[in-house]
Amino acid sequence: MRIADGVEMLELEMAFAGNASVIHPTLLYDDKHAVLVDVGVPGQLHAIRAAVEKAGVPFERIDAVILTHQDIDHIGSIEAVLGALDPSVAVYAHAEDKPYIEGDKPSIKMTPERVAQMLARMPEDARKQAEAMFLHPPKAKVTNVVADGEILPFFGGVQVVFTPGHTPGHIALYHLPSKTLIAGDSTVSREGKLLGPSAQATPDMPEALASLKKFTALDVAQVICYHGGLCDDHVNEQVRDLTK
């Protein structure tokens, strides 16, 4: 879905343990360059390529990937995506999540103990899928570490908003020209309504809620939530309501 000039919200179907949902990576682009924000779960390279090219952007135009955080539904296809692109493609992430993305530390949510417990409760077909995802998690070298408030030199400027809580190094992104907030998992949405962070998937809710206050300093026209999609109705008011 085209959100603004050079901003495309991708829609990828994700099925896990019998539960189906849609996730929303974002593509930022012009006629020479493209940047992919988050890369879905493992095995979604072909779906990502198809979604990018459906937007009218050659997949090979992607020359950078920004990872909002370490969770596997955001980094799952990173190895496949990078393998299908030029080796010079840059990978951006925050320093706090860098060692998890690079595989030096296990995911803070999917520890070996939690994975073992989860697998033991699953039926066999779902267990095989989970084993492929969690026992050998994807990893990638973070070539560019980003910091809070940094303006990335993409397409008129993309501001990094450090929003820890969901993970220690979670970031959101604010595309200055279109006033589009790419929220990652800092908030989810339902039918255009911002709901705040998912309590079930957020280890530090107080910090995650405090992070939302940073959005009140921005003039936001629309929000892309990775889980929930587009919110474009009185967004600034919705953000303020979340932080009361």
Note the pLDDT of residue 132: 66
Q: Give the mean model confidence (pLDDT) for residues 98-126.
A: 82
Residues 36-76: tens digit of each pLDDT: 999 999 999 999 999 999 999 999 999 999 999 999 999 99
| Whether pLDDT at 18 is above 70 | no
Beta bridge partner(s), residue 65: 36, 91
Note the pLDDT of residue 16: 65
Q: pLDDT category, 19, cuts 50, 70, 90?
A: confident
- Given the DSSP bridges, would you call strands 90-94 and 62-66 parallel, antiparallel or unpaired? parallel
Tokens of 60: 């090979």
Say if CB 65 and CB 91 are below 8 A apart. yes
Note the pLDDT of residue 199: 94
Task: Give CA–CA dist 92/56, Å, rounded.
Answer: 24
Q: Is 20 left (phi over 0), alpha (psi -120 to 50) or beta?
A: beta
Task: Give CA–CA dist 107/218, Å, rounded.
Answer: 31
Task: Give CA–CA dist 23/201, Å, rounded.
Answer: 15
Q: Give the mean model confidence (pLDDT) for residues 165-190.
A: 98
SS3 1: coil
According to CATH, the superfamily of the domain at 2-242 is Ribonuclease Z/Hydroxyacylglutathione hydrolase-like (3.60.15.10)
Say if CB 77 and CB 44 are below 8 A apart. yes
Residue 210 DSSP symbol? H
- Given the DSSP bridges, would you call strands 229-231 and 222-225 parallel, antiparallel or unpaired? antiparallel
The residue extents of the domains of the chain are: 2-242
Of 70, 74, 77, 51, the closest CA to residue 132 belongs to 77
Phi then psi dihedrals of residue 181, to 5 deg: -95, 120
Q: Give exposure, 37-56, as e/b (b: 16+ Cβ within 10 Å).
A: bbbbbbebbebbbebbeebe
| Whether pLDDT at 89 is above 60 | yes
Q: Residues near 238 by Cβ (< 8 Å), separated by ≥ 6?
A: 193, 194, 231
